[in-house]
Homo-oligomer: A and B are copies of this chain.
Amino acid sequence: MLAIGEFSRFTHLSVRTLRRYHDAGLLVPAEVDTATGYRYYSAEQIPTAQVIHRLRELDVPLADVREIVGSADPDDRASLVADHLGRLEAELDRTRAAVASLRRLLAPEPASLDVELRVVPAMTVAAVEDDVALDDVLGWYAGAMAELDAVVAEPVGAPGGLYDNALFEDGRGHLLVYRQATEPPHVGRVRPATLPAVELAVAVHRGAHDDIEVTYGELGTWVVDNALAVAGPVREVYLVGPRDTADASAWRTEIGWPVFRVGSPDPTDRTSHPV
C-alpha cells in the first residue's frame, strides 16, 4: 500500500489532483483509513492512473474519464475513447477554419458588398423545423435537408433556411430548412409551412462558410447605414453549396435579414417572430 505522496511520485499526478480524482470517483484509493482519512493506493492502480493522466491530457471531462476507466467492457471503453477522439478531430477542424478565417480578417481586402432591399411575399414551402443547440446545427441541418430531398418530388429553386437569432444569444434556437415545391408534402418531419412576408436586406456570401460572419457584419453595417434595424430570424438561401460543387470558393449563399425602418417598426412581433 502506498501513501498518496508515494503514489504521486510514481504516477506524476500531484497529490492535490489525486485527491480530486478520488472525490470525483475517478480513481478511488484501494484503501481509505476510516479513522484518519488517509488514502492508500495499490501498485496495481498505477496503470489506471496513467490512463487517466493521458485522458486528461486530451481534455476528456472528468465525468467521461470516470465512465471510461469504470467500464469493465474493453469494447465500451474503446468506443468511448473513439468518441472523444472524434470530438478532438472536429475541434481541430474548427480550429483550422478559425485560423484561416483569422488570416483573412487580418489581411483585409475591402471588397464592397452589394446589398439589395427586397420585399418577399409570404410563401408556403416544404419545411423541417425544430429547436436545435448551436453545436448540433451542422448535423441537424444535414439530416433535415436529406429528409427534405427524399420526399419533395419537384423542388423549385434553391434550398434555404431560417435561423433564430437566439441560436447565437442562448446557444440554441429555432431552425427551419425548406424547399419550395408545387405541392409541399406532409411526410415524416417534413410538412408544409408558411413563411411570412418580410422586407429583407439581401447580400450574397461568396465562398465557404468559415467567413460568413464577415458578410453578416457587412450586411449589418449596411443595415445601420440605411437607418434600418433587423427584426427576426435571418434567412439563408443556398444558391450554390456543397450539394452542387466540392469547390468551396464557388459557393454562393444568399443572406436575407428581415429589416424595418427605425421609427416605424414592423407591426409584427420582432423578437419572438415564428420562423
Interface positions of A (Cβ within 8 A of B) = 2, 6, 8-15, 43, 46-47, 49-51, 53-55, 57-58, 74, 77-78, 81, 85, 88, 92, 94-95, 98-99, 101-102, 105-106, 108, 165, 168-170, 213-214, 216-217, 219-221, 223-225, 229-230
What are 8 A-B pairs at a CB distance below 8 A? Answer: A10-B230, A43-B220, A47-B217, A50-B214, A51-B105, A54-B102, A55-B102, A92-B92
Tell me the bound Cα distance from A50 to B8 in angstroms.
Answer: 44
Q: Which residue of B lies closest to A56 (CB)?
A: B98
Given contact pairs A9-B220, A46-B220, A81 touches B55 in the complex (Cβ within 8 A)? no
**Interchain CA distance A225-B42 in the complex, whole Å:** 10
Q: Write the nearest CB–CB distance from A259 to chain B, whole angstroms.
A: 11
The residues of B that contact A213 with a CB separation of less than 8 Å are: 11-12, 50, 53
Residues of B within 8 A of A46 (CB): 217, 220-221
Does B101 contact A95, Cβ atoms closer than 8 Å?
Answer: no
Q: Which of B9, B12, B92, B106 contacts A81 (CB 8 A)?
A: B106
Residues of B contacting A170 in the complex (Cβ-Cβ under 8 angstroms)? 14
CB distance from A207 to the nearest CB of B (A): 15
CA distance A232 to B73 in the complex (A): 39
B10 A217 Cβ-Cβ under 8 A: yes
Q: Are B77 and A217 neighbours in the complex by a CB distance under 8 Å? A: no
For the complex formed, measure the closest distance between the CB of A51 and the CB atoms of chain B, giving whole angstroms. Answer: 5
Query: Closest chain B residue to A103 by CB distance?
Result: B81
Q: Do residues B105 and A43 form an inter-chain contact, with CB atoms below 8 A?
A: no
Contact A230 B6 (CB under 8 A): yes
- CB-based contact A78/B54 at 8 Å: no
